[in-house]
Each structure stands twice: as structure tokens, then as C-alpha cells.
Amino acid sequence: MALRADAAPGRAAHARAVVRLRELQRTRGLDAVVLSPGFVYGPGGLFKQSFTDQPAKGRLRVIGAGHNYWSPVHVDDLAEAFALAVDRAAPGAEYNVVDDAPLTLRALVDGLTDALDHKRCH
């Protein structure tokens, strides 16, 4: 698996860890399960800093048309996924952990700015 140089730092680190876990599973029989979360939101995360604080500072932007899809997951749902994986996942299983409804970045940003009563960014 090749890593892109422009990958987000957190995503790149996760990708490197997954590659290493797969290698250890193959070569040493490591009992590993991989969970790959979407954009985590909820208490303690970066959502507030990344999205809700930025409109007040006039810094929330959508690059391009905003048609790219985001697959968020609430921190409580992610915690439940980890607990289920520990109890039930088969060795070698891999899961993408996301909510049921992906949304475009444009929909996310417009919904937030409307809810916060800020001017929409374009």
C-alpha cells in the first residue's frame, strides 16, 4: 500500500500502522483487528475547533465546489465499535466505522453556518 505525500498526517499514520499490523499478522500470527474511523465528532474531538469555531473568525472555507463526501462518526458510536470489535471481531477483520449517511462538505458547512447563524462561505 503506497502512502500519498499529501495525505492528512493522522490518516498517513493510521495507514502506516495498518500496513505494519497486516505484516505482523502475516509473519508472526498477530491477532489484529483494524478499525478505520471516519471524521470523529462529539465531545473531546477536533470538530468544534475545526468547524464551529471557524465561522465566527471568518475562516471556514470550502475549497472547490464541496462535492467531496465526508463520512462522520460520533465518538460514542466509535467507542461502541471498539467494544464490539474486542468482543466479537474475527482476527484479521477490518472495519470502516462511519455513520449511516455520508454528506458532502458543502452540506456540512452550509448546515453548520446556518445553525450558527453565520454567513455562508463560498
Claim to verify: residue 51 and residue 87 sit in the same structural domain: yes
Q: What is the pLDDT along the chain (122 residues), one digit of tens a residue?
A: 343 444 455 678 888 988 998 999 999 999 989 999 998 888 887 777 777 777 777 777 788 899 999 898 999 999 999 999 999 999 999 999 999 989 998 998 888 888 888 777 66
Residue 92 lies in a domain: yes
What contacts 98, CB < 8 A, 6 or more positions away? 37, 38, 71, 72, 73
Residue 9 lies in a domain: yes
Structure confidence at residue 10 (pLDDT): 65
Claim to verify: residue 102 and residue 52 sit in the same structural domain: yes
Decide: 10 and 19 in contact? Cβ < 8 Å.
no
Claim to verify: residue 58 and residue 13 sit in the same structural domain: no
Residue 121 lies in a domain: no
Residue 61 lies in a domain: yes
Residue 120 lies in a domain: no
Output the nine-digit C-alpha cell for 111: 448546515
Residue 95 lies in a domain: yes
Domain that holds residue 19: 1-32
Claim to verify: residue 41 and residue 21 sit in the same structural domain: no
Claim to verify: residue 61 and residue 91 sit in the same structural domain: yes
pTM, rounded to two decimals: 0.74
